[in-house]
Amino acid sequence: MMKTIKTHSGLMLGLFLALGSATGALGSDESQLPVPSERAMDLAQNSIIVDGHVDFPMQLMQTGIDPISNNGATNFDYERAIRAGFNAPFMSIYVSAHYEGTGGAKAIADMLIGLMEGIANQHPDKFTIATSVRDVRKAAKAGKISFALGMENGSPLEGDLENLQHFYDRGVRYITLAHSKANHISDSSYDDDKRWGGLSPFGRVLVREMNNIGVIVDVSHISDDAFYDVIELSKAPVIASHSGARHFTPGFERNMTDEMIKRLAEKDGVIMINFGTHFLTKDGSGRRLGRDQAYVDYRAERGLNDTAAVYSEFRRWFDLNVAVPFASVSDVVDHIDYVRDLVGIDHVGLGSDFDGVGDTLPTGLKDVSGLPLLIQEMIDRGYSDEEIRKVLGENALRVWSAVEDVAKKN
């Protein structure tokens, strides 16, 4: 598990502070943040940190930014990640829900996978594509960052199980069954159209085949009924790659109820906590619900249709014009505490949604460089090193290993 970074933790601490300031990683509103201890920095550097969801691939496709050092243009780049010990992100192969109707979803997914393969091929000393738990552990020992691939939205499968095999062969190791709209697989938590009452007939077949082939089922984004369908059908543990506890955000279906978290744990699964403010606090989730209505008003006032381009422009407008009640690192750990107290430490992890939740990330966690501060908060609350390592990555790796084992038996 040890990485081949030989720098003394005290020097790493200095680099964390100096380089964070130099690159703008912490931002001017974060100048009063606490300093992570050497213990926090040691844990960051000597643990495998699995993040269930990072939206960097779409940012890369849209902007062509530098994956090594991009001066804070995204929440992720190599220099900040390696400094913070961030070494095993699931990179999101995100395909917008509107492709379900227009076609072309499979091609978009293939392009995003190709981009991540290209980065790994161009920088083999820094990155590798990880298709197994063994790959992740090997890369960590070599001091490299693993790109595991998770497909956000199953639309690229296009109703054909042969496409599941295609994407497995290309490295995809989890699939978020739906995104913001119901698709041919599942209903969505964000969509009032509950056409299937959970999973579709194809979705039910798909879950079984994902078990057979070794692809993790991700229940983030799907409706509550679809979640319970997955729990009943899956022979392997499942994950919620970037969700939170609905206890803190009443009425926000995208997060999970206590009963759902308990059922996930009974399946030996993991909920990976989203860092977006609207996932973390009641005020934040209220802002999300307000944003949904604001989007309706925005389109009506301008006579615009609901398209991906219109929504993207609206998000830019909204983030510039509507104040954000930022959550904090403490709010993230409140969710971790809550899940631990509800079902145990083995069933919670991290699913930041870096580069996917815009300017809603908590104070102290505006990008990957803030992870030592999250570790410090856990230390301050009395978590042991073993417990922290479980949350950072070992729980997620356990689930991935179990999914691999189920597939081997089929």
Mean pLDDT of the chain: 91
pLDDT by residue (tens digit) across 12-45? Answer: 344 333 333 333 333 335 667 889 999 999 999 9
CA nearest neighbour of 389 among 155, 30, 70, 49: 49
Which region among 162-176, 217-231, 305-319, 369-383 has the lowest average model confidence (pLDDT)? 305-319
pLDDT by residue (tens digit) across 160-205? Answer: 999 999 999 999 999 999 999 999 999 999 999 999 999 999 999 9
> Helix crossing, 308-321 with 282-302: angle to 10°?
120
* Strand blocks (E) in 153-291: 172-176, 216-218, 239-243, 270-273
Both tokens assigned to 390: 């479980």
pLDDT by residue (tens digit) across 199-241? Answer: 999 999 999 999 999 999 999 999 999 999 999 999 999 999 9
CA 242 to chain centre: 5
Q: What are the backbone dihedrals phi and psi of residue 177, each rounded to the nearest 5 degrees, phi first?
A: -60, -35
* Amino acid present at 137: R
Average pLDDT over residues 76-104: 97
Which domains, and CATH codes, for the chain?
A: 9-281+325-408 (3.20.20.140)
Dist CA 365 CA 13 (whole Å):
17
Q: Beta-carbon neighbour count of residue 14 at 10 Å?
A: 13
- Report in angstroms the alpha-carbon separations of 383 from 128, 236, 363, 377, 408: 31, 28, 21, 9, 35
pLDDT by residue (tens digit) across 263-296? Answer: 999 999 999 999 999 999 988 877 666 777 888 8
Instruction: Give the DSSP letter of residue 173.
Output: E
